[in-house]
Amino acid sequence: MKARPVVPVRTPAEQGFHMPAEWAPHAATWLAWPHKEASWPGKLDCIPPIFATMARSLVSGEDVNICVADAAMEAAALAVLGEGGVALDRVHFFAIPTNDSWARDHGPIFLNREDGAQAIVDWDYNAWGNKYPPYDLDDQVPRRLGARLNLPVFHPGMVLEGGSIDTDGEGTLLTTEACLLNPNRNPSLDRDQIEARLRAYLGVETILWLGDGIAGDDTDGHVDDLTRFVAPGVVVTVVEDNIHDANHRPLAENLARLRGLRDARGRRLDIHTLPMPVAVECEGQRLPASYANFYIGNRAVLLPQFACPQDEVALRVLEHLFPGREIVGVDCRDLVWGLGAFHCLTQQQPCPWPPR
């Protein structure tokens, strides 16, 4: 009997899927309830109320879906959300345990197709280069959610965190050499092979590479602390004016790169700048505080604040860039002790296009 020929699975791009931009309409925002003391040593109790603030700001425009380990964690979360004035009818819990709360990096990346179909990409996850084991539960989240949501799940066979990429939904993707080319992620893949998988599994065409990340960033340079798309052809990027600060040179170099790039439509980028906040430290450690780590919801944009004069400047910049959304500034000095902020903690689930 002859063996059946192996028929390769067509990639998402070959099937017409692509990753929408973050500002495209959401069906929901996904969170993973905070529970790991080691992520916020001595400050874990300060973090759930910040999650309640996030949820309260988002539920006016979309559902908030929260992964919890069990019924006890759900009950604890409900109590905090209730005390925080969250409209609980738009909050939904999923019994999917996690090692940590950084849903942007371990969670699913959702894809859309023009006929209304949706899918999930399940990138491999190794906790930013095997820095924080164990991470086995986090690595399983996308496939578990795919099963719960009855969505097909694609497996590229490549380590990638959601915070390391940003897309305009029109074929252009931003990333950094410091992260994606780091040998602690995919040592067997070169730049061309990594680009090929990004195109095949996210439906993008043009990949724009920046250089290094900001001081204190344990992710090896995630782009969501540096530069973000805010509309097709439009980016906002952080700059540091203090020439003596460690962030001045890498951010200036990234800005220079951006000025020479074109997107998938051949457009030169319309570049807006955000200041960096004053240096935020805890226990002698420089933390990756950045206004670029904002999250775009349907009706609100969550903006990190750090109790310094630059907070107001950043808020005004985003008010100009998102005129139809409320800019919600929240003190993140405790949150960033976990080495991340709002974008790191969230993952958007887009509405199907066109709406079913």
- 116 torsion bin: left (phi>0), alpha (psi -120 to 50), beta (else): left
Bridge partner list, 287: none
Phi-psi sector, 117: left (phi>0), alpha (psi -120 to 50), beta: beta
Structure tokens at 194: 């990594």
Active-site positions read 344
Q: Residue 243: CB partners within 8 Å, gap ≥ 6? A: none
Q: Which two tokens stand for residue 328?
A: 């919600």
Question: How many other β-carbons are positioned within 10 Å of the β-carbon of residue 252?
Answer: 14
Closest to 98 measured CA to CA, from 38, 36, 56, 160: 36
Q: Are 156 and 209 in contact (CB under 8 A)?
A: no
Nearest Cα neighbor of 60 from 33, 26, 111 is: 26
Are 239 and 275 in contact by the 8 Å Cβ rule? The answer is: yes
Angstrom distance (rounded) from CA 303 to CA 343: 9
Q: What is the DSSP letter of 46?
A: G
H-state helical runs in 176-309: 177-180, 191-202, 248-259
